[in-house]
Amino acid sequence: MSPPLRIGLAGLGTVGAGVVRLLEANAALVASRAGRAIAVSAVSARDRSRERGVDLAAFAWEDDAGRLATRADVDVVVELVGGADGPALTLARETLSAGRPLVTANKAMLAHHGLELASLSDETGASLRFEAAVAGGIPVIKGLREGAAANHLASVHGILNGTCNYILTRMAAEGLEFADVLEDAQRLGFAEADPSFDIDGIDAAHKLAILASLAFGARPDFPAVAVEGIRGVALVDIREAARLGHEIRLVGRAQRLGDALAQSVTPCLVPRPHPLAAVVGPLNAVVAEGDFVGRLTFTGRGAGAGPTASAVVADLIAIARGEAGPAFSMPAAQLAALPPAPAAARSGRFYIRLQVLDRPGVLADLTASLRDAGVSIESLVQPAPNPDGTALVVMVTHESAEPSVRGAVAAMARLEAVAGAPLLMPILPLEE
Amino acid sequence: MSPPLRIGLAGLGTVGAGVVRLLEANAALVASRAGRAIAVSAVSARDRSRERGVDLAAFAWEDDAGRLATRADVDVVVELVGGADGPALTLARETLSAGRPLVTANKAMLAHHGLELASLSDETGASLRFEAAVAGGIPVIKGLREGAAANHLASVHGILNGTCNYILTRMAAEGLEFADVLEDAQRLGFAEADPSFDIDGIDAAHKLAILASLAFGARPDFPAVAVEGIRGVALVDIREAARLGHEIRLVGRAQRLGDALAQSVTPCLVPRPHPLAAVVGPLNAVVAEGDFVGRLTFTGRGAGAGPTASAVVADLIAIARGEAGPAFSMPAAQLAALPPAPAAARSGRFYIRLQVLDRPGVLADLTASLRDAGVSIESLVQPAPNPDGTALVVMVTHESAEPSVRGAVAAMARLEAVAGAPLLMPILPLEE
């Protein structure tokens, strides 16, 4: 058997400790699958004294993670520091520049600097792998990069943030409002103390930018992702969606539209028979539509120490086996700079919910706004008014250009009788 | 760019023609992902003159597929001839012996001769890949072999035969009996003229033996799979299962039980929240439970020219990239010879359905059979009797050892008041 593959591990949070635990617990299995042992030789983290539930005594300690890039007893660097820039990016650049393979779970860094790092990897021949960056333990990077490699993909959709999915599905199951579930999720550890990265859709957008790059052979382009989180989704929306046969999910969605790429993360109405509607709790799922393979769905746990460590070690096994294809499935120089799809190219059916003052003429004003924008209405529901003199209006549009619908909703929001911000959500088609 | 990877293609049925079409249609994409062009140079099939909808003029023709193993203008052989033995096996042996990589979709051959072929691959260093052999286009071989490689798996479950799933879900959706749907499926091309390979569970059992080998690092052991098809499932069973909150699916199931391996293919009651219950029509799905990753589910199209060609070409891309891990995820010499789990080690809840003569004392005899075998009953339902004087009895057992339940059912079958063969189906637990 070949000599062990020696790991320099930067970052000893939940995932880092999980990687140490997995490599210990499943050492023999990992060695048979990798063709050689995989062993940590050096680690680095901010605080050496913190209790992590794993024994670090056998590993060399570096206060400066950057030194892992050049230590003589390290073959591969595992970067679990996090953050798009700063020490993580420095370590990634130094590792790949030194011709040393890098495994990372850092979606923010890849979404922002993926092209640079992939180019560096191509230049030096050092493998860059990041299965753990998207959808935790689900081998979806491998699934797109290799499994579906022979296909032109029409679209990729995903539930990419477990916190949002946990909140939305608990709201639905227990009839609770967003704020109450969020508070409980924070107490239970399903949401961060500062949850904005998750619930405002940024985390899902990082992951989507990576998936879109792999799926379409395009440069990762995070700034082009249209992002909207789930703060605006109320229990009433979940109930109205259910009445329409839909679930509400935060969906990351990338589609090739002609020569352009449409990327968005937004709460959507998902029809019940769509595979993403069945994804509940903290699970993640990715649906890809290929020209030969048809629809592929990958589902599993999108976060947590175990699943993420499983993905990190899968990458290490591939490196140990000498399998080192290009980071984004083709050489960085061949990745297309696809322009973002113009808003006018995006169309679909939409759900619009407004709170209005319950007085005559309001519906006429609302429907006039849609008519003026050239948007036709598939259904309109106005349940009984609330005791406070407001009423709810829920509309579903026919297939319409997104800018027209947005224009109509903006016009409605300016009406004196409309109270609070309207909520606009795309309705996912069953197939696309 | 490196010189093209030259393919010798044996077998030009639906899948073979699909591979030719895919390599033509997506040539540029495949080349960027593979790092080199992939081009067919020689083909072989039984009948040269048959119209296949693809132009073969550019390819050399071999009447004898075996010659592809040694032709100087072939780098990789793609075996799509089919059949566990005969020309397919000869070609596989000759190809690997010649040190030439082999891509195959031949589940029967791998289920029966997988260990021999994997050993040959290890000896000569020629890659053996078979993504297309299980679950068509779904990258589940890659998912287990590489994606979940760091995990000890507790179990693998799958819906592995699209024909059976199509029949069972159409029976449920349209309230039809087995024979009627089968006939219609044959007319529509979803079932073969001789459907026994599919509906008797053999095809699914071949695939399960391959999955189990990958999942548990064990030698493929097809003869150890307990196989039962779907001929015995009646519409009434689907209705009774629905009343109990379950769907009926033909499930391939492999579990590690201590040092042994339990493998079965059998119609099962699947609880509605289980991911396999949502798999409808000709789709396939595989669910694996890993110690770190948790539950992974892969879903997609399990057959057909497009999906299968997608899987074949994914393997060719991996070979073009030089990625050639061991066939069953570890060297053949390290694959364990796990003994089949003794029947007594298998336990669970069971569904029993009988047709009985509607007369006093029958239920007492039935329940006595269960009592004598030490099996306790969770529920018993006897709907109103039929006009012909027979009645249906449906029982659900508590968790019991399988041999006890089988013994009780055999005793019931011997009762004079029991008409026709009883049907026994395991009830899949929601988690295991």
Q: Identify whether B107 is a catalytic site residue.
A: no
Mean pLDDT in residue range A308-330:
94
Total CB pairs under 8 A between chain A and B: 199
Cβ-contact A328, A213 below 8 angstroms: yes
Mutate to test the interface with B, among A293, A301, A308 (most CBs of B within 10 A): A293
Q: Do B143 and A148 touch (CB under 8 A)?
A: no
Shortest distance, CA A23 to any CA of chain B (angstroms) = 8
Written as six digits, the tokens of A362 are 């309001």
Q: Is A201 exposed, middle or buried (0-12, 13-18, 19+ CB in 10 A)?
A: buried
Mutate to test the interface with B, among A33, A140, A319, A335 (most CBs of B within 10 A): A33
Count, residues in chain B: 432
Q: Provide the chain A residues 387-426 that lie in CB contact (below 8 A) with chain B.
A: none
For position B387, what pLDDT does the model report? 86
pTM: 0.96
pLDDT score of A22 more than 90:
yes
**B76-79 and B128-129: which strand pairing?**
unpaired
For position A351, what pLDDT does the model report? 98
What are all long-range contacts of B271-276, with beta carbons under 8 Å and residues at least 24 apart?
B271/B245, B271/B246, B271/B427, B271/B428, B271/B429, B271/B430, B272/B245, B272/B246, B272/B247, B273/B430, B274/B428, B274/B430, B275/A278, B275/A299, B275/B299, B276/B157, B276/B158, B276/B159, B276/B249, B276/B251, B276/B428
Q: Do A148 and B290 touch (CB under 8 A)?
A: no
Written as six digits, the tokens of A345 are 């190219």
Cβ-contact A124, A99 below 8 angstroms: yes
- Alpha-carbon span B108 to B222, nearest angstrom: 9
The backbone torsions φ and ψ at residue A259, rounded to the nearest 5 degrees and listed phi first, read -90, 10
For position B53, what pLDDT does the model report? 87
- Alpha-carbon span A251 to A421, nearest angstrom: 21
Low-confidence ranges of chain B (pLDDT < 50): none
**pLDDT digits 0-9 by tens, B167-208:** 999 999 999 999 999 999 999 888 888 999 999 999 999 999
Write out the DSSP string of A318-332: HHHTT----TTSS-G
From the candidates A100, A145, A207, A353, give the one annotated as an active-site residue. A207
Written as six digits, the tokens of A186 are 């924070």
**Phi/psi zone of residue A374: left (φ > 0), alpha (ψ -120 to 50 degrees), beta?**
left
Residue B31 pairs in a beta bridge with none
Q: Do B146 and A142 touch (CB under 8 A)?
A: yes
Cα–Cα nearest to B157, from B290, B346, B323, B314? B290
Cβ-contact B352, B236 below 8 angstroms: no
The backbone torsions φ and ψ at residue B70, rounded to the nearest 5 degrees and listed phi first, read -130, -5
For position A394, what pLDDT does the model report? 96
Q: Do A146 and B18 touch (CB under 8 A)?
A: no
Q: Provide the chain A residues 154-193 that lie in CB contact (below 8 A) with chain B.
A: none
- Alpha-carbon span A407 to A56, nearest angstrom: 58
Beta strands in A283-385 (DSSP E): 283-290, 294-301, 347-357, 377-381
- Alpha-carbon span B62 to B9, nearest angstrom: 10
Q: Which segments of A151-218 does DSSP mark as H helices, in order?
A: 162-174, 178-188, 196-199, 202-216
Cβ-contact A126, A95 below 8 angstroms: yes
Cα–Cα nearest to B137, from A22, A293, A164? A293
Shortest distance, CA B393 to any CA of chain A (angstroms) = 33
* Confidence band, pLDDT 50/70/90 cuts, at residue A431: confident
Average pLDDT of the residues of chain A: 95
For position A1, what pLDDT does the model report? 63
- Alpha-carbon span A218 to A261, nearest angstrom: 9
pLDDT score of A190 more than 90:
no
- Alpha-carbon span B392 to B404, nearest angstrom: 22
Sign of CA dihedral A259, A262, A263, A268: negative
Q: Kindly state the helix (H) or strand (E) to which residue A42 belongs, with its residue range.
A: strand A38-44
Q: Do A33 and B149 touch (CB under 8 A)?
A: yes
For position B313, what pLDDT does the model report? 98
Print burial letters for B366-405: b (CB count within 10 Å at least 16), e (below 16): bbebbeebebeeeeeebeeeeeeebbbbbbbbeebbbebb
Which residues of chain A make contact with B299, given a CB cutoff of 8 A? 275, 296-299
Q: Which residue has the tokens 């391959």?
A: B210
The backbone torsions φ and ψ at residue B104, rounded to the nearest 5 degrees and listed phi first, read -140, 150
Cα–Cα nearest to A274, from A297, A293, A291? A297
**pLDDT digits 0-9 by tens, A202-222:** 999 999 999 999 999 999 999
Q: How far is CA A87 from CA A56, A64, A75, A117, in A?
A: 22, 9, 19, 14
Which residues of chain A make contact with B329, given a CB cutoff of 8 A? 33
For position B360, what pLDDT does the model report? 86
Identify the closest residue of chain B to A280 by CA–CA distance.
B273
Cβ-contact A329, A214 below 8 angstroms: yes
pLDDT score of A318 more than 70:
yes
* Confidence band, pLDDT 50/70/90 cuts, at residue A121: very high
pLDDT score of A344 more than 90:
no
The reply to whether B323 touches chain A by the CB within 8 Å rule is yes
Residue B104 pairs in a beta bridge with B79
- Alpha-carbon span B232 to B245, nearest angstrom: 20
For position A165, what pLDDT does the model report? 97
For position B1, what pLDDT does the model report? 62
The backbone torsions φ and ψ at residue B275, rounded to the nearest 5 degrees and listed phi first, read -60, -25
Written as six digits, the tokens of B98 are 């010649």
For position A432, what pLDDT does the model report? 73
What are all long-range contacts of B218-223, with beta carbons under 8 Å and residues at least 24 apart?
B218/B261, B218/B335, B218/B336, B218/B337, B218/B338, B219/B114, B219/B115, B219/B335, B219/B336, B219/B337, B219/B338, B220/B110, B220/B111, B220/B114, B220/B115, B220/B328, B221/B261, B221/B263, B221/B338, B221/B340, B222/B111, B222/B112
Residue B349 pairs in a beta bridge with B427
The backbone torsions φ and ψ at residue B301, rounded to the nearest 5 degrees and listed phi first, read -85, 125
pLDDT score of A343 more than 90:
no
Which residues of chain A make contact with B32, given a CB cutoff of 8 A? 217, 330-331, 334
Residue A103 pairs in a beta bridge with A78, A129
Cα–Cα nearest to A138, from B134, B299, B207? B299
Count, residues in chain A: 432
Q: Which residue has the tokens 């519906």?
A: A363
The backbone torsions φ and ψ at residue B161, rounded to the nearest 5 degrees and listed phi first, read -130, 110
- Alpha-carbon span A239 to A168, nearest angstrom: 12
Cβ-contact A134, A207 below 8 angstroms: yes
For position B385, what pLDDT does the model report? 83
